[in-house]
Amino acid sequence: MSFLNLENKRILVMGVANRKSVAWATTKALEEAGAEVIHSVRSEARLESLQKLLGDRKAYICDVELPEQITALAEQVKADYGALDGIVHSIAFANYSEGFKPFHETVRKDFLQATSISAFSLVEVANAFKPILNEEASVVSIGISSTDVTAENYGYMAPIKAALETCSYNLAKSFGADTRVRFNTVNAGPLKTSASAGIPGYLESYLYAEKLTFRKQNLTTQEVANTAVFLLSSASSGINGQGIVVNAGMDRNYFDKEVVRLAMRPE
């Protein structure tokens, strides 16, 4: 038995977008630890685009914006596998239908849609899969480490990611009434992903974040995935209802002398 004890465990990973995504890095790390990974993706088109990447891995289609598809996914997994040892929720979506705006101008329908997909879907997934989660299963969501920081170029997603964290904590309490299923979030610092590439000004924020890390090197997707794998394993059995910050110390280094020097440099 290994330290992680993930051999022959079955994990559902939701949200693989491409080979740069946290979900894919988590898949590879789980498989290296001996786990069997199955997937769900949002559409037939996404599944086709991932065909080469996923190979012969089992993959289902589930658009979490549609509750009936979540229910159907749970039923399909139950029919095919019977039970799960864990779920990775790596799903986020934001439709800036009118472009990026100041937060007070957020479009209601965009905010509600993004909340439904990025946060409340965790609740619906947990509810649908509760009957087939093994007694000590683990559910891990991928969040961000800066939900309490205002970032102009992140729009309304920071409060929605905060909602995801809160949903996770409350699910831990709710499930705790009659199971030992755990819920935790991995709160990651800025990453180089395909999704982040579409955020205006993200590169500047990414480079700034790097200067704030203690090691002067930004987080890697693999480091986030490794934390998720640890939380899925029995090695983390004492961790429940938590948000694990993984950002190389970025949030502890606001007064780094180099950053202060650059900020105070005369125009």
* pLDDT at residue 145, rounded to an integer: 79
**Does a structural domain hold residue 155?**
yes
CATH, residue 40: 3.40.50.720
> What is residue 103's predicted lDDT score, i.e. its pLDDT?
87
* 3-state helix, strand and coil shares in percent for the chain, rounded to the nearest 5: 45, 15, 35
Tens digit of each residue's pLDDT (9 = 90 or more) over 173-185: 999 999 999 999 9
Overall number of domains in the chain: 1
| pLDDT over 80 at 140, yes or no | yes
Q: What is the DSSP letter of 119?
A: I
72, part of any domain: yes
Residue 222 lies in a domain: yes
Residue 262 has what pLDDT?
A: 86
Find tokens 């009118």 and name the residue: 98
Q: Say what percent of the chain tops pLDDT 90.
A: 75
Q: Which residues carry a binding-site annotation?
A: 15, 63-64, 91, 94, 161
Residue 122 lies in a domain: yes
> What does the alpha-carbon distance between residue 120 and residue 97 come to, in Å, rounded to a whole number?
21
Q: Is there a domain that residue 3 lies in?
A: no
Which residue carries 């051999």 as its tokens? 7
User: Residue 30 has what pLDDT?
Assistant: 98
**Helix residue ranges, H only, the chain:** 22-32, 44-49, 51-54, 67-81, 108-115, 121-129, 157-175, 202-212, 221-232, 257-263
Q: Is residue 115 part of a domain?
A: yes
Q: Is residue 139 part of a domain?
A: yes
Q: Which two tokens stand for residue 94?
A: 């934001």
Residue 5 lies in a domain: no
pLDDT at 193 over 90: no
Position 208 confidence tier, pLDDT thresholds 50, 70, 90: confident
Q: What is the pLDDT of residues 9-62, one digit of tens each?
A: 999 999 999 999 999 999 999 999 999 999 999 999 999 999 999 999 999 999
Annotated binding site for substrate: 94
Mean pLDDT of the chain: 92
Residue 196: the pLDDT is 65
Mean pLDDT of 119-131: 98
Known binding-site residues for NAD(+) equal: 15, 63-64, 91, 161
Q: Which domain holds residue 127?
A: 10-263
Question: For position 37, what pLDDT does the model report?
Answer: 98
Place 157 in a pLDDT band, splitting at 50, 70 and 90. confident
pTM equals 0.93
